[in-house]
């Protein structure tokens, strides 16, 4: 009986499906859905879907008409789906009648000026309340709330939908990007390596070794600065390796965590942005090359990049500024008080209620009779040289290497530019972790259980970094949907400028975008396609000769990079600034507050005494000595002695 009933239901189902397939009683539905955030004046994508009463997509491929108010737009359906793009300057109604199904949707675009509110809320709350988690969350919440309120959802419903979309949209999207996951894995592997070399006595051996050269706060800071210069190939690797390696040394010399984080942060991106062989070079050259092709310019992207280096005032002067602070043993602003407190009371007291809490047992060194520095140096060397080897391996191109017309440096830059930096970083950090474990086991410094526990403890120590980075990436995704960078760019570009003034404005706009978005790379991706063609066309309209136009073009290339690095240094939502804080175990907001006056000082000096004079014909060979002298005078007369603590071992 049961079998017969099942056969009956099956026959009935097949009959209904067959009838519906011949169009009997088939009812079609059509839906209009705009993209998540429709911004005023920005091109938005509208999605249209048709389906029948059984939920099947409309099978026909055909044209149909959509009306935006009274404006007719033809769309083409492929298997029940069609899209079209439209710029909404005001509230408009979209309507469609397709297969006897009708749908109407009112679109109320969000005013573009509101796009600046979420990053400003995140930045202001971070600075006011000295707490970055809630600041990033409030920035995300405010942006998603705007989106839902303008989509026609009620206030109560918009409130809860905004909270849910933070998790199910922006956080998930942030963690779905391969580059972001790569950074998380790399950070965890670095954390695991640091814990292993701490427990096996390797870090203590490094401290004992560096203590021979870093006997005072001044020499300790200089060693940190020098390491920051040497680890030039990647800013992420720089912050994590140098910060974690030097933190025990600088703690012993009573150098504040804020000063350590500043030195690490101010040597990472500045070096990586201008060195010939870095993970930055590929992105920089690709943006330049695409512009040259678009403008049909017979120039090499390498030549333009090399020509721009002499105008890279902010990155170069930032490095010199740190060195002069160390040499003169002076500080000013919040950094002075932090350093003075560290010298007189020690790092732990200086960072009371500010430092990130750690389980101290995880950091205890095993009872090692004679700590050996090579147990730390070998894994770190594996990470450093392994990264370089990985960059070469993933970017190898025999056509570039065998091209006799290219110089050796150009060949290396081209290979590194084609590399997959994230793979290289993961391979090298994993290699460093494995080597650290093997060294510990072979010498019987740790047993397998202790090594595994140390590795897991290292992974756990990066949880705070991962949470902050995830929220920062989520906010960056929201800012992209809201077209914040477009608002800033349009606000500035609406003014008429002379070509000579473009580098100055480019620096400010790039800095503002990087500060608001927390991303140097994102800023370059936005600014280069916008400002480089405009620069070349503006020079042509002004009747400038070719050589002068190329000089202005190269100057603008450099100020995009310089402004991006400056804004990144100042932003509390920047991933590299966050990594610097966490690698040095420094309170993040304290790092931003103490670094901010120094970054602004360098920016003002480079703009007033570098960018503007050079734009109007002054030689770079004149402005560089002038800027160095001005830096020395400011530190000498505004800075105060922080005192010295001698490491007597």
**CATH code of the domain in which 46 resides:** 2.60.40.10
Q: Does 363 share its domain with 453?
A: yes
Q: Does 527 share its domain with 450?
A: yes
Q: Does 337 share its domain with 470?
A: yes
- Quick one: CA torsion of 94, 95, 96, 97, rounded to 10 degrees? 180
99 assigned to some structural domain? yes
The residue range of the domain holding 149 is 113-176
User: In this predicted model, which residue has the larger pLDDT, 632 or 271?
Assistant: 632
Q: How far apart are CA 342 and CA 347, in angstroms?
A: 5
Is the pLDDT score of 496 beyond 80? no
8 assigned to some structural domain? no
> In this structure, what are the phi and psi dihedrals at residue 110, rounded to the nearest 5 degrees?
-80, 130
Could you tell me whether strands 28-34 and 43-52 are parallel, antiparallel, or unpaired per DSSP bridges? antiparallel
Quick: pLDDT tens for 507-558. 988 888 888 777 777 677 667 766 777 778 777 777 788 888 888 888 999 9
Q: Does 327 share its domain with 218?
A: yes
Quick: pLDDT tens for 234-286. 677 678 778 877 888 888 888 889 999 999 999 888 888 887 656 566 567 66
Helices (H), 518-619: 520-541, 546-570, 575-583, 588-606, 612-615
Q: Does 391 share its domain with 425?
A: yes
- Burial code (b: 16+ CB inside 10 Å, e: under 16) for 364-396 equals ebeebeebbbebbbbbbebbbebbbebbbebbe
Give the pLDDT score at 293: 72
501 assigned to some structural domain? yes
294 assigned to some structural domain? yes
User: In this predicted model, which residue has the larger pLDDT, 65 or 442?
Assistant: 442
Give the pLDDT score at 279: 56
Share of the chain above pLDDT 90, in %: 13
Quick: pLDDT tens for 571-581. 887 878 888 88
Is the pLDDT score of 109 beyond 70? yes
61 assigned to some structural domain? yes
Give the pLDDT score at 389: 87
User: In this predicted model, which residue has the larger pLDDT, 52 or 580?
Assistant: 580
Q: Does 290 share its domain with 332?
A: yes
7 assigned to some structural domain? no
Is the pLDDT score of 322 beyond 90? yes
436 strand-pairing partners: none
Q: How far apart are CA 553 and CA 531, in angstroms?
A: 9
Asked whether the beta carbons of 139 and 162 are under 8 A apart, the reply is no
Average pLDDT for the chain: 79
Task: State the DSSP H helix or E strand holding residue 50, giving kind and residue range, or none if neither.
Answer: strand 43-52
Q: Does 322 share its domain with 198?
A: yes
55 assigned to some structural domain? yes
Structural domain ending residue among the three candidates 131, 152, 176: 176
Is the pLDDT score of 88 beyond 50? yes
Give the pLDDT score at 566: 93
Structural domain ending residue among the three candidates 58, 88, 109: 109
Quick: pLDDT tens for 328-376. 989 998 999 898 888 887 776 444 334 434 443 444 555 566 778 788 8
Q: Does 172 share its domain with 226?
A: no
Please state the rounded mean pLDDT for residues 149-154.
84
Domain count across the chain: 3
Q: How far apart are CA 471 and CA 582, in angstroms?
A: 15
User: In this predicted model, which residue has the larger pLDDT, 519 or 483?
Assistant: 483
Give the pLDDT score at 14: 47
Query: 105-119, 161-175, 514-528, 572-586: lowest mean pLDDT where?
Result: 514-528
Give the pLDDT score at 634: 94
User: In this predicted model, which residue has the larger pLDDT, 573 or 436?
Assistant: 436
Give the pLDDT score at 357: 40
Is the pLDDT score of 384 beyond 70? yes
Exposed / middle / buried, residue 15 (Cβ in 10 Å: 0-12, 13-18, 19+): exposed
Give the pLDDT score at 630: 95
Is the pLDDT score of 586 beyond 60? yes
CA dihedral for 182, 185, 187, 189, sign (positive or negative): negative
Give the pLDDT score at 323: 94
Q: Does 51 share its domain with 186?
A: no
| CA dist list (Å): 89 to 112, 400, 583, 594 | 10, 48, 46, 43
Asked whether the beta carbons of 624 and 395 are under 8 A apart, the reply is no
Structural domain ending residue among the three candidates 83, 109, 135: 109
Q: Does 167 share its domain with 315?
A: no
Give the pLDDT score at 302: 67
Confidence of residue 314 (pLDDT cuts 50, 70, 90): very high
Give the pLDDT score at 487: 78
Q: Does 319 share its domain with 207?
A: yes
Give the pLDDT score at 99: 62
10 assigned to some structural domain? no
Confidence of residue 563 (pLDDT cuts 50, 70, 90): very high
For the ranges 57-61, 212-216, 339-343, 525-529, the one whose mean pLDDT is highest: 339-343
Is the pLDDT score of 410 beyond 80? no
Is the pLDDT score of 317 beyond 90? yes
Q: Does 103 share its domain with 150?
A: no
Q: How far apart are CA 501 and CA 398, in angstroms?
A: 42
User: In this predicted model, which residue has the larger pLDDT, 465 or 408?
Assistant: 408
Confidence of residue 465 (pLDDT cuts 50, 70, 90): low
């Amino acid at each position: 009986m049961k079998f017969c009933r099942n056969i009956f239901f099956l026959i009935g189902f097949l009959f209904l499906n067959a009838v519906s397939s011949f169009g009997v009683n088939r009812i079609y539905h059509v839906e209009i859905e705009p993209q998540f955030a429709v911004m005023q004046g920005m091109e938005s994508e509208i999605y249209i879907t048709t389906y029948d009463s059984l939920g099947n997509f409309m099978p026909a491929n055909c044209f149909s008409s959509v009306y935006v108010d009274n404006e007719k737009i033809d769309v083409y359906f492929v298997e029940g789906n069609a899209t079209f793009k439209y710029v909404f300057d005001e509230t408009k109604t979209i309507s469609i009648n397709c297969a006897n199904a009708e749908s109407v949707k009112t679109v109320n675009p969000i005013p573009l000026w509101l796009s600046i509110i979420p990053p400003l809320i995140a930045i202001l709350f971070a600075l006011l309340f000295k707490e970055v988690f809630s600041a990033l969350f409030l920035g995300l919440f405010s942006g998603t709330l705007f989106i839902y309120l303008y989509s026609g959802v009620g206030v109560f419903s918009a409130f809860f939908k905004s909270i849910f979309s933070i998790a199910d949209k922006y956080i998930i999207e942030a963690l779905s990007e391969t580059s972001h996951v790569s950074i998380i894995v790399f950070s965890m592997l670095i954390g695991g390596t640091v814990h292993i070399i701490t427990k096996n006595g390797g870090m203590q051996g490094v401290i004992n070794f560096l203590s021979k050269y870093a006997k005072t706060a001044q020499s300790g800071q200089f060693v940190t600065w020098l390491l920051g210069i040497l680890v030039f190939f990647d800013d992420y690797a720089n912050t994590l390796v140098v910060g974690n390696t030097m933190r025990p040394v600088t703690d012993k010399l009573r150098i504040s965590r804020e000063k350590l984080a500043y030195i690490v942060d101010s040597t990472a991106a500045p070096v990586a942005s201008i060195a010939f062989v870095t993970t930055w070079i590929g992105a920089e050259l690709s943006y330049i090359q695409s512009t040259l092709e678009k403008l049909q310019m017979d120039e090499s992207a390498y030549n333009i990049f090399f020509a721009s280096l002499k105008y890279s005032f902010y990155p170069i002067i930032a490095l010199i500024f740190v060195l002069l602070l160390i040499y003169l043993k002076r500080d000013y602003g919040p950094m002075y008080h932090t350093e003075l407190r560290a010298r007189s009371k020690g790092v732990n007291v200086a960072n009371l209620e500010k430092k990130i809490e750690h389980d101290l047992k995880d950091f205890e060194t095993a009872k090692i009779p004679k700590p050996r520095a090579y147990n730390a140096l070998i894994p770190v060397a594996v990470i450093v040289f392994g990264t370089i080897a990985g960059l070469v391996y993933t970017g190898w191109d025999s056509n570039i290497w065998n091209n006799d017309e290219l110089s050796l440096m150009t060949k290396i830059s081209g290979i590194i530019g084609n590399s997959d930096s994230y793979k290289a970083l993961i391979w090298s950090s994993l290699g460093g972790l494995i080597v650290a474990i093997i060294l510990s086991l072979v010498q019987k410094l740790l047993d397998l259980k202790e090594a595994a526990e140390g590795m897991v403890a290292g992974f756990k120590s990066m949880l705070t970094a991962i949470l902050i980075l995830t929220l920062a990436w989520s906010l960056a995704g929201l800012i992209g949907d809201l077209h914040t960078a477009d608002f800033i760019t349009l606000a500035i570009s609406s003014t008429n400028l002379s070509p000579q003034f473009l580098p100055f404005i480019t620096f400010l706009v790039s800095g503002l975008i990087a500060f608001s978005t927390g991303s140097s790379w994102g800023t370059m991706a936005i600014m280069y396609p916008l400002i480089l063609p405009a620069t070349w066309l503006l020079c042509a309209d002004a009747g400038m000769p070719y050589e002068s136009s190329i000089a202005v073009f190269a100057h603008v290339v450099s100020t995009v990079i310089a402004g991006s690095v400056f804004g990144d240094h100042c932003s509390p939502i920047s991933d590299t600034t966050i990594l610097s804080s966490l690698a040095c175990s420094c309170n993040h907001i304290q790092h931003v507050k103490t670094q901010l006056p120094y970054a602004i000082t360098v920016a003002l000096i480079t703009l007033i005494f570098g960018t503007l004079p050079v734009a109007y014909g002054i030689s770079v060979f004149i402005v560089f000595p002038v800027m160095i002298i001005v830096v020395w005078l400011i530190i000498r007369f505004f800075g105060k002695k922080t005192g010295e603590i001698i490491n007597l071992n």
